[in-house]
Chains A and B, each alone.
Chain A
Amino acid sequence: MAERAHRITPGVGAARPLRRALGAWQAAVVRLDGVDPITTELVRLRCARYHDCHT
């Protein structure tokens, strides 16, 4: 995949209250255990690829 130029300078992120709340929300979702770990990971990887998220 071709390297793309940064659209936002590394280190710039959402305002702290919003970033912190989003992080807490996503962490709480990941802690849910209603779906088995393999399916959860497959979905997470599929989402990461679709969103071009390399982290």
Chain B
Amino acid sequence: MSFDRATDEVLDEVLVDHPDVRAHLAEAWDAAWTSVDPVLLDLCRLRVAMLLGCSNERATRTPAAVAAGLDEAAVDELADWHRSGRFGAVERTALAFTEQWVIDVAGMDDATVFALREQLGEQGLADFTSALLVVEQRQRLRQTWRALFGGGDG
């Protein structure tokens, strides 16, 4: 099984015998991009891909984010966002939250959460957290399946 292709194609193949799981994950994915600023979410999706070593996802741009003005110069500096001047307060707090989420979600402290809540509001934080869950889970599924079933660089 090859993993040198889009995550949607991988999901379609692995979940071919579980169409309800696949359909509901697709619904959650679509809802994520309409519930959260797509540029912010795509920056965080790309940061997740960097941390998980998911090269296919790193090479992908979500159409909703591109349409909303995703800045490729910012993407180029994403790995070094702490020092880059291209990211504002919302992006910086969301990226810090995302990194903690990926690396050790159980270690998420109040300061990281409250900083993002200050930027997004309570509803925004709830939406962002749920959207990030969808973004992260798709990539973790992809990486886990790649490790199990082989093929491609992710």
Contact = CB atoms under 8 A, between A and B. Distances in A.
B is bound to A: yes
A12 to B, nearest CB: 5
A24 B126 CA distance: 18
A32 B22 CA distance: 12
A18 B122 contact: no
Interface in A1-55: 4-5, 7-9, 12-15, 17-22, 24-25, 27-29, 31-32, 50-52
Nearest to A49: B106
Given A12-B123, A21-B24, 13 more contacts: A8-B122, A8-B126, A14-B126, A15-B127, A17-B31, A17-B34, A17-B35, A21-B30, A22-B133, A25-B24, A25-B25, A25-B27, A50-B106
Contact of A21 (B18, B20, B27, B106): B27
B27 A14 contact: no
B28 A32 contact: no
Interface of B: 18, 20-21, 24-25, 27-28, 30-32, 34-35, 105-106, 110, 113-114, 117, 122-123, 125-127, 129-131, 133-134
Given A24-B24, A28-B21, A51-B106, A15 B114 contact: no
Interface of A: 4-5, 7-9, 12-15, 17-22, 24-25, 27-29, 31-32, 50-52
Given A22-B133, A28-B18, A50-B106, A14 B24 contact: no
9 contacts: A13-B126, A14-B131, A15-B123, A18-B32, A21-B31, A22-B130, A22-B133, A28-B18, A28-B20
Contacts of A9: 122
Contacts of A28: 18, 20-21, 24
Given A14-B127, A18-B130, A51-B105, A25 B21 contact: yes
Contacts of A20: 31
